[in-house]
Structure formats: C-alpha cells, structure tokens
C-alpha cells in the first residue's frame, strides 16, 4: 500500500484550533501517513516554547472558554505540548512560517524542540502540491 502524504496548516493560536490540528495530524501519522504541520500567521505563537502551554480556548468568549478548558481537563485529553512531543518523536514534521516568526517578535530559538523554520517555496512545492490531502485549521 502506498504511503499517503498530508499537509496540515494551522493559522491560529487558539487552543481548540491548535489541539484539533495536532490531534488530526497525530492520528493520520499513526495510521501510516507522512504528515507535515505548518504554522503560519498567528499560529506561530503556538510553537513558542513559553506560550505553547498557555494557549487558551475561545479567548473572545472567556466564560465559554473556561467551560471548554474545564471539560478538556475532566476528559483527560492530552496537553497540546504533549501532542507536539508525540507527533515530532513519532516522525511528524512541524514547520513555522519564517515570515511570521519575526513578525510576532520571535526567532527560531524560541520554537519548541523539533520545530523548524520552513522554506516557503520548498514547502509549497514539495509538501502542499505533492500532498494527497491538505487540511487547514
């Protein structure tokens, strides 16, 4: 059976979006796909080693966000930092947009372990255009 390739793009730093992107990516990886997750725009904030564990759910709706966070805790779902760790250590690739990283006051040194700056032209040509599936969060 041929290995499927998947590109997942995340442009948000809101916990629910990042969580869904990473759960989807990890699930596909564990089913045998070659998966690359690309964080662009505000999504690069999710890769900041000091911010990844502090992401919030629905920050524009604090009461609902707190309820969702409490429910996620009750359900004992993995922390987003753990999803990043598992995904990278199981062979997934995490890339950050090199244009957005400095835009949000970051450098490559600020990224979580295992995340790398993307080479946009190469990423779009070799990952997005060649992918069997492209997902966006």
- DSSP H stretches of helix in the chain: 15-30, 62-74, 80-89, 100-103, 120-122
Task: Supply 18's token pair.
Answer: 């990042």
pLDDT digits (tens, 9 = 90+) for 38-71: 999 999 999 999 999 999 998 889 899 899 989 9
Q: Provide the percentage of residues in the chain whose pLDDT is more than 90.
A: 88
In which residue ranges of the chain is pLDDT below 70? none
Q: Shortest CA distance to 56 belongs to which of 66, 47, 48?
A: 66
This prediction has a pTM of: 0.93
Q: Any residues with CB less than 8 A from the CB of 3 and at least 6 apart, and which?
A: 32, 33, 34
Residue 35 parent element (H or E): strand 34-39
Query: Token match 């599936």: residue?
Result: 133
Give the chain's domains with CATH numbers.
Answer: 5-22+32-136 (3.40.1260.10)
Tell me, what's the pLDDT at 85? 98
């Amino acid at each position: 059976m041929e290995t499927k390739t998947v590109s997942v793009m995340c442009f948000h730093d809101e916990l629910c979006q990042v969580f869904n992107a990473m759960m989807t990516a990890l699930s596909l990886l564990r089913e045998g796909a070659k998966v690359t997750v690309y964080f662009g725009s505000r999504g690069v904030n999710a890769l900041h080693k000091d911010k990844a564990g502090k992401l919030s759910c629905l920050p524009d709706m604090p009461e609902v966000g707190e309820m969702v966070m409490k429910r996620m805790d009750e359900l004992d779902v993995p922390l987003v930092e753990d999803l990043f760790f598992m995904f990278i250590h199981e062979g997934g690739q995490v890339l950050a947009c090199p244009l957005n990283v400095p835009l949000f006051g970051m450098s490559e040194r600020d990224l979580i372990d295992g995340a790398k700056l993307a080479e946009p032209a190469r990423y779009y040509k070799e990952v997005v255009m060649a992918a069997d599936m492209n997902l966006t969060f």
